[in-house]
Amino acid sequence: MLLAVLSGFIFALLLVPFGKVLKGKWSILLSILPLALFIFFLQKIPQVIDGAILERNQWVPQLGINLDFNLDGLSLIFALMITGVGTMVFIYTSYYLKGHVYLDRFFGFLCLFMGAMLGLVLSENLITLFLFWELTSISSFFLIGFNNEDPASRKSALIALSVTGLGGLCLLAAGLVIHGITDSFSIVDMLQSSTMMQDHSFFMAVVCLIFGAAFTKSAQFPFHFWLPGAMKAPTPVSTYLHSATMVKAGIYLLFRLSPAFSGSELWHYSLWCVGGATMVYAAFQTLFRDDLKSILAYSTVSALGILVFLIGLGTEEAMLAGLVFLLVHALYKATLFLMTGIIDHAAHTRNVSELSGLRKVMLPVAVAGFLAALSNAGIPPSFGFIGKDLIYEASLHTGVFPLISTVALVSTNVMLLFAGFLAGVRPFIGPLPTKYKDLQAGSPRLWVPTLILATLCLVIGLAPGLISNSLIAPALVALGIQDYALDLKLWHGFNTVLALSATTIGLGLGLFFLLKPSLNREEQMLKWEKYSPLAFFEGMGSLTFRFSTLWTGMVQNGYLRNYILVILLFLMALIGYGMWGNFHPKIDFTQLLDLTFYETGIMAIMLGAIVFTVFTGSRLTAVAAMGVVGYSLCLLFVFYSAPDLAMTQFAIDTLTVILFVLVLYRLPKYLPFSDSRVRVRDGIVALGFGGMITLLALGVLSDPMVSEVSEYYSANAYKLAKGKNVVNVILVDFRGMDTLVEITVLVIAALGVFGLMKLRLKSRERIR
Amino acid sequence: MKTLILRTASNYLLPLLLLFSVFILLRGHYLPGGGFIGGLIASIAFVLHAFANGLENTKSLLRTHPGFLMPVGLTLAVISGLAPGIFGLPFMTGLWYDEAIPVIGMIGSALFFDIGVYLVVIGVTLTIIFTISESA
């Protein structure tokens, strides 16, 4: 199984050197990979029916992060969807993007995505799950932005990445909190300690973080806006990532973890609310769209909402309905997207109001679209009818608020039916405009995959036995529902559910014939755009930009004096906070030595030099005066028997003055850079800082000296390090490591100066 | 500052000051001094020479760019730190010869570490000052 997951990554890697050869007429050969994987997972079915297959591969065992894979019924459904729809999309792409310059790159991203998605649904380890989760977001980013010369594509890709990336972080946090509770990253372990999780005080945090991950990935309200934007991607990508697989990752996560959280009110009611709101809101939105992909995008969001809603109901019937609807939706939605791509490819428009009568020129596509629309509408004998049946059954007879749930579901389904017919039927009926007379369905590589998926919608409806025991039953076991009397069939007799289905179909068809697509409605909708979550998200983004520009301009303004001012003020605040309340300087004046004549003299010289520095009119004089202060300090060191310090201070002061003179020599004469107000402010800050350091020094003096360290050094300097100069022994031996790092820092500083001064940028490299 | 007196004096002062810096470096283990201050004194010697004779003359006297002293010194310091590893001792353990050598005194890994510091300080100081005075 490890190889099955990694094969996508290996293929993507191999496409870098060999892609040039394959992107010609042989690109269809690449669909062998998903096909082989599809067959691989297909032949695992008998084993999975007997029980889940667990495969362990060590990765970072010290941290509990392992490439463990678990193939149970739930994973299997997803794996078959990923590889099956993947095969169709690969074949389709080989013609759809024929001759594109970056076809090899496109297939590379697709392979990468497929590998990541397989890893996601097979992972048994939360951290590995997170890694694959992020990889799907990243490959999705590249695929949405595939037409990277189009600014709108780039923007959509960025929005999708930031929203799903945010969710990814939530997932990582959730994994860490769960590890804190169960002491394991294993999902199986977690599902087994369900009661421990639900009693833990961090349970609410875990649930909210999981919601953050699932709702962003599966485009639930209010994070749904990235999905319609992601339709900027080439159609195969929309088919594969944004309807059939990637957006289902959030659904997968909710399904996978539902046994651990079921029974918790927070879990059920939140999912019920969010899923319900999403399905109704997004279905309502489809009424106002006339771009085919836009209609399909909103209906996908709505379908995802239905799935979340069903998981929220959480009963056995609801889970069954969810699993079946998952398959139903993947099949018909992929068909509709592929069909849209063919129309777009031939007619160069996706606007429903412009398309009609296409059945006369592209019959196979029309058949596919019609079958998909049937399944979407839930008209017997399609697979969609079984799905819709189960959904009504679940909401009507089990779960919370049966009346509200059912009404919401019926209204959603009516609008979805309208959307499906708009996309799958409207372009093909009516008269054929003359400008479309010469259109063709194109290569079989386009319409055969479409038709295969469409036929499946019908075949499974007629023979539900194909999937009931092989796929659905093991998946129910994986969700913790044992011994469920599973009976998938079309005809259940006359009952309320059938009446509801008939009502839905009747209302939907009525809506379809009454409501004609028009530009006015979309424009009306656009008026509300500024209150949408997308506008809010974009507003947050531009606000962040504005704030960071302002902040950078304020803090990094390029004036050395301002940097120093900020550093000093911050240091003052920090030291002041530290000293506040626990500062009790006690100075024992009797202990202090008397001032000698020399000390008084030097103090006078220093004060004089400082006053001179502040008030002088020339830079050079100021630097020289600063040098006088430094030398006076050296003398003080000499008096207090610190010859080492005195020597170093002397040399450093000399070099500093030389450096200043070198720089100032070339600068213009003294100019009044600052007005008097600024100078007063600087003076206050300087006095404050000096005063604070003085207070600090007094505080240090009043504390009893802890001299163990210095005693140890002076006692052992000769014994251990054979040196009599304690200062130097500390520098080169006791604290030699510090010195080593310090001289390294010195070297870096010198290299920095050298680089800055010698840097001679060519004019085109210079930042403007 | 191309005065004749300073120029003549600096020609004698340079070797004297360099000798003095080495003296300071070597006595550091027992009396005030050491690699850091020794390196600063040696740099001052070169800077004084550059003031009196011009930067170009000092550079031709040095032959190579002073920046090359930085990696040399760093390497020496790291090697003297690693050397105890040969005898299975932890990083930067002091190693000493038992016998003192005339003039230099006791020789040990700490001395080589100090020489490394000395070279790095010369390299850093001269690189900074030479670069700035060239570009200013």
Residue type, A661: V
Distance between CA atoms of B82 and B98, rounded to whole angstroms?
A: 20
Q: Measured between alpha carbons, how far is residue A20 from residues A70, A191, A449, B60, B119 in Å?
A: 36, 47, 25, 57, 55
**Contact between chains at B110 and A665 (C-beta distance less than 8 A):** no
Q: What is the DSSP letter of A481?
A: -
Within 8 A of B132 by CB-CB distance, chain A residues are 659, 662-663, 753, 757
Is the CB of residue A492 less than 8 Å from the CB of residue A389?
yes
Is the CB of residue A484 less than 8 Å from the CB of residue A476?
yes
**Contact between chains at B29 and A729 (C-beta distance less than 8 A):** yes
Interface check B70 vs A, CB under 8 A: yes
* Option in B29, B44, B131 nearest A754 (CB): B131
First and final C-alpha spacing in chain B: 17
**Contact between chains at A652 and B133 (C-beta distance less than 8 A):** no
Q: Which residues of B23-58 are buried (b: 16+ CB within 10 A; e: fewer)?
A: ebbbbbbbebbbbbbbbbbbbbbbbbbbbbbeeeeb
Map out the domains of chain B as residue ranges: 4-135
Interface of B with A in 81-120 (CB under 8 A): 81, 91-92, 94, 96, 106, 108, 110, 113-114, 116-117, 120
* Option in B41, B94, B108 nearest A651 (CB): B41
Peptide bond into A222 cis (omega under 30): yes
The phi, psi pair for A240, rounded to 5°, reads -80, -55
User: What tokens does B121 get?
Assistant: 């300080």
Mutate: best of B70, B106, B121, partner A, most A CBs <10 A: B70
User: In the prediction, which pLDDT does B125 show?
Assistant: 92
Is the CB of residue B80 less than 8 Å from the CB of residue B110?
yes
> CA of A610, closest CA in chain B: separation in Å?
25
How many residues can be counted in chain A?
A: 768
What is the average pLDDT across B28-49?
87
Interface check B79 vs A, CB under 8 A: no
**Contact between chains at A753 and B127 (C-beta distance less than 8 A):** yes
CA A558 to chain centre: 34
Side-chain-side CA neighbours of A43 within 13 Å: the count stands at: 6
Distance between CA atoms of A553 and A556, rounded to whole angstroms?
A: 6
Distance between CA atoms of A621 and A629, rounded to whole angstroms?
A: 13
Within 8 A of A627 by CB-CB distance, chain B residues are none
Confidence of residue B18 (pLDDT cuts 50, 70, 90): very high
**Quick check: helix, strand or coil at residue A69?**
strand
Residue type, A381: P
**What residue in B sits closest to A727 (Cα-Cα)?**
B32
Question: B94 or A336, which is more confident?
Answer: A336
Q: List residues bridging with A60 in a β-sheet.
A: A65
Q: What is the DSSP letter of A617?
A: S
Alpha helix (H) ranges present in A378-484? 383-397, 402-424, 444-462, 465-467, 473-478
User: In the prediction, which pLDDT does A704 show?
Assistant: 64
Tokens 């001759």, located at residue: A99
Peptide bond into A34 cis (omega under 30): no
**Short-list A623, A626, A598, CA closest to A610:** A626
Distance between CA atoms of A120 and A129, rounded to whole angstroms?
A: 5
Within 8 A of A749 by CB-CB distance, chain B residues are 124, 128
Alpha helix (H) ranges present in A314-362? 316-347
> CA of B118, closest CA in chain A: separation in Å?
10
Interface of B with A in 50-69 (CB under 8 A): 67
**Contact between chains at A736 and B113 (C-beta distance less than 8 A):** yes
User: What tokens does A612 get?
Assistant: 């001179």
CA angle A707, A709, A713 (to 5 degrees): 115
**Contact between chains at A666 and B136 (C-beta distance less than 8 A):** yes
Distance between CA atoms of A604 and A635, rounded to whole angstroms?
A: 13
Q: What is the DSSP letter of B88?
A: T
Distance between CA atoms of A243 and A298, rounded to whole angstroms?
A: 10
Q: List residues bridging with B101 in a β-sheet.
A: B105
Within 8 A of A750 by CB-CB distance, chain B residues are 67, 70, 123-124, 127-128
The phi, psi pair for A355, rounded to 5°, reads -100, 135
> CA of B9, closest CA in chain A: separation in Å?
19
**Contact between chains at B113 and A643 (C-beta distance less than 8 A):** no
User: In the prediction, which pLDDT does A75 show?
Assistant: 93
**Quick check: helix, strand or coil at residue A66?**
strand
Distance between CA atoms of A509 and A41, rounded to whole angstroms?
A: 39
Within 8 A of B31 by CB-CB distance, chain A residues are 724-725
Q: List residues bridging with B108 in a β-sheet.
A: B96
> CA of A758, closest CA in chain B: separation in Å?
8
Q: Measured between alpha carbons, how far is residue A669 from residues A617, A619, A623, B66 in Å?
A: 9, 8, 14, 32
Interface check B73 vs A, CB under 8 A: yes
The low-confidence residues of chain A, meaning pLDDT below 50, are: 767-768
The predicted complex's ipTM stands at: 0.88
**Quick check: helix, strand or coil at residue A328?**
helix
Residue B106, pLDDT > 90, answer: no
User: What tokens does A759 get?
Assistant: 């840097």
**Contact between chains at B92 and A743 (C-beta distance less than 8 A):** no
Residue type, A367: V
Residue type, A81: M
Q: Which residues neighbour A337 within 8 Å (Cβ) at sequence distance 6 or greater?
A: A235, A238, A239, A243, A293, A296
Interface check B48 vs A, CB under 8 A: no
**Contact between chains at A723 and B29 (C-beta distance less than 8 A):** yes
Instruction: Supply the DSSP string of B21-86, one letter for each residue.
Output: HHHHHHHTTTSS--HHHHHHHHHHHHHHHHHHH-HHHHHHHH-S-GGGHHHHHHHHHHHHHHGGGG
Distance between CA atoms of A124 and A546, rounded to whole angstroms?
A: 43
Distance between CA atoms of A115 and A4, rounded to whole angstroms?
A: 8
Q: Are strands A69-71 and A58-60 parallel, antiparallel or unpaired?
A: unpaired
Helix B109-135 × helix A736-758 angle, to 10°: 20
Within 8 A of A736 by CB-CB distance, chain B residues are 81, 92, 110, 113
Residue type, A767: I
Side-chain-side CA neighbours of A378 within 13 Å: the count stands at: 32
Confidence of residue B103 (pLDDT cuts 50, 70, 90): low
**What residue in A sits closest to B114 (Cα-Cα)?**
A732
User: In the prediction, which pLDDT does A768 show?
Assistant: 43
The pLDDT tens digits for A708-760 are 777 777 777 777 767 777 777 777 777 788 888 999 999 999 999 888 888 76
Interface of A with B (CB under 8 A): 643-644, 647-648, 651-652, 654-655, 658-659, 662-663, 665-666, 720-725, 727-729, 731-733, 736-737, 739-740, 743-744, 746-747, 749-751, 753-754, 757-758
Cα torsion A42, A44, A50, A56: sign? negative
Chain A with chain B: Cβ pairs closer than 8 A: 139
* Option in A654, A662, A740 nearest B133 (CB): A662
The pLDDT tens digits for B45-89 are 998 888 888 888 888 888 888 889 999 999 998 888 888 777 777
* Option in B43, B70, B106 nearest A747 (CB): B70
Is the CB of residue A646 less than 8 Å from the CB of residue A634?
yes
Instruction: Supply the DSSP string of A677-721, one letter for each residue.
Output: HHHHHHHHHHHHHHHHHHHHHHHHHHSPP--HHHHHHHHHHHHHH
Q: Which residues neighbour A298 within 8 Å (Cβ) at sequence distance 6 or greater?
A: A228, A282, A283, A285, A286, A289, A419
Strand segments (E) across A433-561:
none
Run of H or E including A189: helix A187-192
Interface check B23 vs A, CB under 8 A: no
User: What tokens does B97 get?
Assistant: 């010869």
Helix B69-82 × helix A736-758 angle, to 10°: 160
* Option in B35, B77, B124 nearest A750 (CB): B124
Tokens 């680089």, located at residue: A755
